[in-house]
Amino acid sequence: MSSSTDSLPPALAKIVQRFQRASDQKRRYEQLIWYAQKLPALPEADKIPENKVPGCVSQVYVTATLEDGKVKYQGDSDSQLTKGLVGLLIEGLNGLSPTEIVQLAPDFIQETGLNVSLTPSRANGFYNIFKTMQKKALECKLDP
pLDDT band at residue 102 using 50, 70 and 90 as cut-offs = very high
* 55 CB-near residues (< 8 Å, 6+ apart): 124, 125, 128
Domain 7-142 fold: Sufe protein. Chain: A (3.90.1010)
Give just the sign of the alpha carbon dihedral 75, 29, 135, 38: positive
CA of 99: how far to CAs of 81, 118, 137, 138, in Å?
28, 29, 8, 8
Most confident of 5-9, 24-28, 50-54, 123-127: 50-54
pLDDT band at residue 50 using 50, 70 and 90 as cut-offs = very high
Question: Helical H runs in the chain?
Answer: 10-21, 25-38, 80-93, 98-103, 108-111, 114-117, 120-142
CA of 4: how far to CAs of 12, 14, 109, 115, in Å?
12, 12, 12, 17
pLDDT for residue 1 is more than 50: no
**Residues identified as active-site:** 56
Q: Distance (Å, rounded) from C-alpha 30 to C-alpha 33?
A: 5
